[in-house]
Structures are given as structure tokens and as C-alpha cells.
């Protein structure tokens, strides 16, 4: 669970203190979506300063709103801003420019920072360079940026693939994927956003007004395992680190989560690395009418899932519907030698 700061005022610091005392230590921020969730640089700096002192961290979506707005205006005057031209409306430079600016603010405050869904190797490498200078900085990438590419916008339903940042070229995807092996990427998320086709089609003629995001929480592990572990030789231990251990570490939940050590919660996915299956919407459980991986043949799948030692899913069926959700208080974030990347 993240807080979200859009505008800084005289009450914000106290609100963040109250949240941290309740175990909510991360604050999600945006450098785009002006008039909605975008925060200016003064607000970001103040929030980084406050969260640093509270044992917390800013978690940030980076795209330069000025560059995005200009690219959208140029597209509207030429090829259009429909879903088929999504990649033209949010260029790679918008991401790298924003990441560079936020890294500078974080360095000025000696504050940790976590970049969500980075979609280009250049953005990832900026974070790597900052880490070499001593800054505590993390990169999350997501399954769809590591597997899908912008050719999806050439299909019959391009609106289904509209997300921010957009899908990049096949070459960029390949180069980004290499950083799973170099250690530059800290975590793999889903950026799950479960709109259905009808919701996306309402404004498919203008991506400035349509809902962004792809459904991916259920497919995150299988598609990554199949493509990168089974397909490209990523080690299973690195796969677990990226998808489980490091997310727990960077969010103050380790070793209670993301670990199989004595005393940890027994949240376990028992994996069949040789199970071959085809992704279809009908066999998934997300609240939408499509998956961006429709028809993909995968190898590797979780067959049994335990929550705190109790089997809740087996062979695709929910076998125990007992409500187990609870608020877990994140510990103060201390990254001094906690884990290497």
C-alpha cells in the first residue's frame, strides 16, 4: 500500500508521519498526468526529504509531462493520437529526461528512490550510474515492457495495448531484457490495470483521454519464466529474486515476505517448470475480457499456491476461499548493505 502526494501543503508532513506510524512508508508520485496525479518538483523534493527522515521512500512514475504534451500535439497535427499511434505520443526521451531530473533531486536530498515500470535501457542505465555514485536507487520493470513490443499497435485492437510508458520497439525490448541478467533491474512488477476492451474503446481515437494500462497480475510470473528462464537462461534464483525477494526487501516486508527462512510467512507458489500451456482469456481469472498474451504458448506454471502454509489454489482451482487479507506494517527502510544488485 502506497500513499500518494500530489500537492505539498502545511499538513502533508504530518500526514506522512501518521502514515509511516501505521506502516505505510512508500509514497507513489508521478511526473506526468498534469491536473490529475502529477506533482511538481518542489512537491517531489519535499516528499523525498520527509520520507527519508521517516524511513520511507518515494516510488515514482517518470515521464516528462512537457515532452509528452508536445509529442501529443505534434501527433494530433500529423498522423493522429489514436491508439495505433500510441508510441509516438510518449517518446523514450520523455522517460529518460524525467528520470535524470528525479535522480538529481534524490541526490540533493540523499534520499532513496524507486522508479516504477522503466521501459528503456537508457532509463535503467541512468539509475545504475546513480547507484555507482552512492545513491540508493532502484529500477522496476514490468512483464509487458520486457516481452511485448510496439508492433501490437499495428493489430486490429491497438487500444488493448495502450499503457504508460507505451510499448517500445523490439530492439529496445531486447536491450531492456538484457538488464535482467546484469543486475541493473531490481524488481519485476505487473503494473496491473484491469480495464476491459469496451472501456478502452470509448476514447480509442484519442489516447489523451482513454484509460491506460494492461491486465497482467495473473500472467506476470508465467510469461517471465517462460520467456526468460526457460527461453533465455535466466537462473531460477534470479527469477525469484526479481519477482519475490527484492519486492519484499524494497518495501520493508523482508524477511516476513519474499523468503523461505524459519519465521517467514509460508506464502509459496509450487512451480512446475515443464508444464506447457496456452494463455487464453477464458482460463484466466482477471476481471477483464482480454489478456495481452492471448494465444502465447508458455512453459512453466504455478500448480499449487499456499498462503501462510494453507493451500488456497491447486491446479487452477480456488480450493479455500477463506479471507486472509490483512494490513502488514512495513518496517523502516534501511538499505545499508541489506542486499546487493
Task: Give DSSP secondary structure letters for 248-272.
Answer: HHHTT-TTTSS--STTS---EEEEE
Helices marked H in the chain: 12-21, 41-53, 65-77, 86-89, 92-109, 121-132, 143-147, 170-182, 197-201, 220-224, 236-240, 246-250
Exposed e or buried b per residue across 95-127, where buried means at least 16 C-beta atoms within 10 angstroms of its C-beta: bbbbbbebbebbeebebbbbbbbbbbbbbbbbb
Give the pLDDT score at 238: 98
The 10s digit of each residue's pLDDT in 270-322 is: 999 999 999 999 999 999 999 999 999 999 999 999 999 999 999 989 999 99
Place of cell 534501511: 334
Lowest pLDDT segment from 106-115, 206-215, 309-318, 330-339? 330-339
Instruction: State the DSSP H helix or E strand holding residue 139, giving kind and residue range, or none if neither.
Output: strand 137-142
Among candidate residues 162, 148, 173, 150, the one with its CA nearest the CA of residue 213? 162
CA 325 from centroid of its chain's CA atoms: 21
Q: How far apart are CA 106 and CA 20, in angstroms?
A: 19
Q: Is 96 helix (H, G, I), strand (E, B) or coil?
A: helix
Confidence class for position 339, pLDDT limits 50, 70, 90: low
Q: How far apart are CA 278 and CA 327, in angstroms?
A: 35
Partners of 313 in the beta sheet?
Answer: 305, 318
Give the pLDDT score at 266: 96
The 10s digit of each residue's pLDDT in 228-279 is: 999 999 999 999 999 999 999 999 999 999 999 999 999 999 999 999 999 9
Residue 63 in this model has a pLDDT that exceeds 80: yes
Q: What is the mean pLDDT of the chain?
A: 96
Contacts by residues 127-134 (CB-CB < 8 Å, ≥ 24 positions apart): 127/99, 127/103, 127/184, 128/184, 130/103, 130/106, 131/341, 133/107
Give the pLDDT score at 340: 52
323's grid cell: 479471507
The share of the chain scoring above pLDDT 90, in percent, equals 97
CA 85 from centroid of its chain's CA atoms: 23
Q: How far apart are CA 138 and CA 184, in angstroms?
A: 8
Residue 337 in this model has a pLDDT that exceeds 80: no
Q: How far apart are CA 212 and CA 158, in angstroms?
A: 12
Amino acid at each position: 500500500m502506497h500513499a500518494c502526494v500530489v500537492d505539498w501543503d502545511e499538513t502533508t508532513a504530518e500526514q506522512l508521519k501518521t502514515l509511516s506510524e501505521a506502516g505505510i512508508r512508500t509514497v507513489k508520485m508521478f511526473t506526468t498526468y498534469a491536473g490529475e496525479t502529477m506533482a511538481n518538483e518542489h512537491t517531489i523534493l519535499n516528499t523525498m526529504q520527509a520520507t527519508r527522515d521517516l524511513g520511507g521512500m518515494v516510488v515514482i512514475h517518470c515521464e516528462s509531462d512537457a515532452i509528452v504534451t508536445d509529442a501529443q500535439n505534434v501527433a494530433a497535427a500529423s498522423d493522429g493520437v489514436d491508439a495505433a499511434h500510441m508510441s509516438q505520443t510518449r517518446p523514450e526521451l520523455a522517460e529518460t529526461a524525467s528520470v535524470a531530473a528525479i535522480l538529481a533531486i534524490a541526490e540533493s536530498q540523499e534520499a532513496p528512490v524507486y522508479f516504477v515500470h522503466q521501459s528503456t535501457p537508457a532509463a535503467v542505465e541512468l539509475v545504475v550510474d546513480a547507484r555507482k555514485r552512492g545513491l540508493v536507487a532502484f529500477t522496476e520493470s514490468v512483464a509487458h515492457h520486457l516481452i511485448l513490443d510496439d508492433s501490437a499497435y499495428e493489430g486490429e485492437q491497438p487500444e488493448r495495448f495502450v499503457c504508460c510508458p507505451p510499448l517500445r520497439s523490439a530492439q529496445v525490448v531486447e536491450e531492456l531484457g538484457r538488464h535482467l541478467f546484469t543486475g541493473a533491474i531490481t524488481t519485476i512488477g505487473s503494473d496491473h490495470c484491469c480495464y476491459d476492451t469496451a472501456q478502452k474503446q470509448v476514447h480509442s481515437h484519442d489516447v489523451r483521454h482513454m484509460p491506460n494500462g494492461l491486465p497482467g497480475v495473473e500472467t506476470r510470473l508465467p510469461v517471465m519464466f517462460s520467456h526468460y528462464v526457460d527461453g533465455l537462461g535466466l537462473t531460477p534464483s534470479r527469477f525469484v529474486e526479481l519477482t519475490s525477494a527484492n519486492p519484499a526487501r524494497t518495501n520493508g516486508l523482508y524477511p516476513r515476505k519474499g523468503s523461505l527462512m524459519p519465521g517467514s510467512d509460508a506464502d509459496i507458489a509450487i512451480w512446475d517448470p515443464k508444464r506447457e500451456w496456452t494463455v487464453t482469456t477464458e482460463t484466466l481469472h482477471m476481471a477483464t475480457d482480454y489478456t495481452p498474451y492471448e494465444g502465447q504458448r508458455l512453459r512453466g506454471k504455478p500448480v499449487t499456491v499456499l498462503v501462510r502454509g494453507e493451500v488456497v489454489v491447486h491446479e487452477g482451482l480456488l480450493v479455500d476461499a477463506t479471507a486472509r487479507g490483512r494490513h502488514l506494517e512495513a518496517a523502516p527502510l534501511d538499505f545499508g548493505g541489506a542486499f546487493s544488485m
